């Protein structure tokens, strides 16, 4: 009996090795599939500029195994909002259209811009790259708009301005108006960048109006957003719906004040004049969507404020 056992064990081992050898590819595929179905997603800590706010178009998520197009939108928002430079997630096998939906989002600059408009200015990206593997692995690389050195200088300037012009007892409305007036009075619209798409100034981001004194619409908007974030007032950036024909792009602020969403456009409150003088207006200061429509009427009809209510349902126009 002992002799049989001694001979049987080596024989079973040989048979097992042989089975594995002849079926190694099949076994490997099965293991690979099993791992791909439940891969581990590494989630790092977010940076200090992450917004905790959720919006109707995008929300923060802790669910990185998407099951729908909206889940993917939320993943893109969350990783951008968190300040991640790289991130990897995986398409579950049961979500058959997952890689196609990722491709649809990643190849659409307008959708990516919309996502970008809901994050803190310092977490907005200059470009975002997505690599999709055949196995359903999604690798995202983000290059951010602001450098660490720019952030340091801007933060110092924001703190300095805030301490100088904001006083105890001011309401949020008063604070926003005071900051609005300061930025408009201390900035000029960068006509050169608007006309030639080039300039000596960083006018397309907050560094321009706050440090250099020149801004385009995105610079005005980012500068105002930084103060709104400092005051912990919920906000996002609104972009022109580029689907409209013959309309140039534009961006401005949406502000949640007194339990309602309002428009705030510093660019149009700092008009470029023919006489070269500086002017300060409040025509586009904390107004409703209906008021925005009325403000855009007149001798010069403004078309840049046409926005998508699908993307910004918070700003839906009233039928009243």
- What domains are there in the chain, each with its CATH number? 36-145 (no CATH), 148-315 (3.10.620)
Burial of 150 (0-12, 13-18, 19+ CB in 10 A): middle
Burial of 65 (0-12, 13-18, 19+ CB in 10 A): middle
Give the pLDDT confidence score for residue 246 in this predicted structure. 59
Residue 210 DSSP symbol:
I
H or E stretch at 189: strand 188-189
- Phi and psi (nearest 5°) for 26? -65, -45
Give the pLDDT confidence score for residue 318 in this predicted structure. 81
Q: Is 139 helix (H, G, I), strand (E, B) or coil?
A: strand
Residues of the chain with pLDDT under 50: 2-5, 12, 15, 17, 20, 27-35
Answer yes or no: are the C-beta atoms of 252 and 237 closer than 8 Å.
yes
Q: Is 295 helix (H, G, I), strand (E, B) or coil?
A: helix
* Rounded-to-integer distance, Cα 65 and Cα 91, Å: 6
* Rounded-to-integer distance, Cα 253 and Cα 185, Å: 18
Give the pLDDT confidence score for residue 242 in this predicted structure. 74
Give the pTM.
0.86
Answer yes or no: are the C-beta atoms of 291 and 318 closer than 8 Å.
no
Burial of 144 (0-12, 13-18, 19+ CB in 10 A): buried
Quick: pLDDT tens for 223-262: 999 999 999 999 999 999 876 555 678 999 999 999 999 9
Beta strands in 250-309 (DSSP E): 251-257, 260-264, 285-287
Q: Is 188 helix (H, G, I), strand (E, B) or coil?
A: strand
Would you tell me the crossing angle of helices 98-106 and 109-116 to the nearest 10 degrees? 80
Which residue, 163, 220, 164, 165, is CA-closest to 187? Answer: 220
Give the pLDDT confidence score for residue 194 in this predicted structure. 78
Percent composition of the chain: helix, strand, coil (DSSP 3-state, to 5) = 40, 15, 45
* Rounded-to-integer distance, Cα 22 and Cα 201, Å: 67
Give the pLDDT confidence score for residue 195 in this predicted structure. 80
């Amino acid at each position: 009996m002992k002799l049989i056992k001694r001979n049987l064990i080596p024989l079973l081992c040989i048979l097992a090795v042989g089975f594995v050898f002849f079926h190694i590819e099949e076994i490997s595929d099965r293991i690979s599939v099993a791992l791909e179905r439940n891969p581990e997603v590494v989630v790092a800590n977010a940076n200090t500029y992450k917004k905790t706010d959720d919006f109707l178009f995008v929300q923060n998520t802790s669910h990185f195994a998407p099951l729908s197009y909206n889940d993917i939108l939320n993943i893109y928002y969350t990783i951008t909002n968190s300040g991640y430079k790289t991130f990897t997630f995986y398409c579950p096998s049961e979500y058959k259209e997952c890689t196609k939906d990722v491709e649809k989002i990643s190849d659409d600059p307008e959708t990516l811009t919309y996502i970008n408009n809901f994050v803190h200015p310092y977490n907005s990206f200059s470009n975002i790259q997505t690599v999709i593997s055949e196995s359903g692995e999604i690798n995202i690389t983000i290059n951010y708009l602001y450098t660490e050195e720019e952030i340091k200088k801007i933060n110092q300037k924001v703190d300095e301005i805030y301490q100088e012009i904001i006083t105890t007892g001011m309401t949020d409305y008063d604070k926003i108006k005071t900051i609005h007036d300061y930025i408009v009075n201390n900035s000029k619209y960068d006509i050169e960048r608007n006309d030639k798409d080039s300039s000596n100034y960083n006018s397309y981001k907050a560094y321009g109006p706050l440090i250099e004194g020149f801004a385009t619409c995105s610079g005005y908007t980012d500068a105002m957003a930084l103060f709104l974030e400092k005051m912990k007032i919920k906000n996002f950036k609104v972009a022109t719906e580029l689907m409209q024909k013959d309309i140039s792009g534009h961006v401005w602020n949406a502000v949640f004040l007194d339990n309602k969403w309002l428009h705030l456009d510093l660019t149009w409150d700092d008009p470029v004049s023919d006489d070269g003088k500086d002017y300060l207006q409040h025509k586009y200061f904390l107004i409703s969507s209906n008021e925005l429509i009325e403000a855009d009427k007149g001798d010069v009809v403004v078309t840049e404020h046409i926005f998508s209510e699908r993307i910004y349902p918070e700003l839906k126009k009233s039928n009243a």
